[in-house]
Chains A and B, each alone.
Chain A
Amino acid sequence: MIKKYLSQSDAIYYFSVFFILLAGILAIAHFSGNVRLQALIVVLVSFIYVAWGILHHLLHHDICFKIVVEYILIGAFGMAIILFLLKSI
């Protein structure tokens, strides 16, 4: 089932993304109570996520402007979500 949906290089990429995001969420939990630092971690993780995604597509030679914009927008979406949350708590 998994092999049907994932190539080996994709699996390595997904695991690396998983560990980057896991490190991010552990850091957010660790700094519980320090909202400013938590927000900064979300921004940092979003930047790494965007860069890592673009790099992956670049290495796979399937990069295009549309994909770059998609990753940037997804990262911006993450930051916008946290800003929206912080302005209302």
Chain B
Amino acid sequence: MKGILNHLFIPQRSNNHRAKILHNQSLLVLVTVLFLGSFLINIVHLRAPQVLGDSIDISTRELLLLTNKDRLENGVSPLRISQKLQTAAIAKAKDMFAKDYWAHNSPNGTTPWDFIKAAGYDYTYAGENLARGFTSSKDVVNAWMASPEHRANMLSKNYQDVGFAVESGTMQGEQTILVVEMFGSRQLGGFASQTNNQLPQPVTSQTEIFSDPFFNVSLLTEGMILLILGVFIVTLFLDLIIIRRGKIMRFVGHNIDHMLFFGVLILAVIIISHAVIL
């Protein structure tokens, strides 16, 4: 076993003084496996989401409870669910998927306020928070609370009503969960005069996306990719040190730039996998 590991990861006579996993044949096998694996995952993901999918649990009820919990903790009165804001949020989410954009304003200039007005909510104050790629209500609310602009919306005394949309679809080539939160108030001064510390119960209309597959494909893939890249960086580093110390001549690419490239890939994987708010 030790011999095999040394052959795979340590430059020595048996692997022609280049770790076996760094040989072109090994790289070719890995690239082929990754290309084929990505198509295989896609097929299983689509045909058997209960086996291989994302663990998702986002609901308007929990989003409302968590939002109001944060408001109460910060001395702000809780929000009520407005059916009209709910309708506006759902229309906005569907529009974002239909026109394939990730922005507050649509490509043809439609603003969030247009959706609110179209739903029949005559607002004095209005606001919008967006989130995509999150897998739990708690993570969505925590991310909004961690961003100054979104936090200002969450804790604004100007709002008395809120509406949520939790929609699943394809945006910019990525299958994702989109959360739209729309705030509003119909009268100047908002809801600030009320100091009711009881959390209001959400109305019956709820949107919820819940999925609990056997394997969480996103976490599994991300972890696997980071592990592979980490193993390559360590192997390249060991290869560099051992060969330089042994003063062995070889015709191969530079290990340092490969390590830099793999390091950038690690950062890219982390950034791309990360959920975002707007």
Contact = CB atoms under 8 A, between A and B. Distances in A.
B257 A13 contact: yes
A28 B274 CA distance: 12
A24 B45 CA distance: 30
Contacts of B28: 73
Overall SS of chain A's interface: helix
Contacts of B264: 21, 24-25, 45
Given A70-B24, A70-B253, A33 B132 contact: yes
Contacts, number: 148
B271 A14 contact: no
Nearest to A71: B253
A82 B132 contact: no
Interface residues of A, number: 49
Interface of B: 24, 27-28, 30-31, 34-35, 37-39, 41-42, 45, 102, 132-133, 172-175, 217-218, 220-222, 225, 228-229, 240, 244, 251-254, 256-258, 260-261, 263-265, 267-269, 271-274, 276, 278
Interface of A: 4-6, 10, 13-14, 17-18, 21, 24-25, 28-29, 32-39, 42, 45, 49, 53, 56-57, 62, 64, 66-67, 69-71, 73-74, 76-78, 80-89
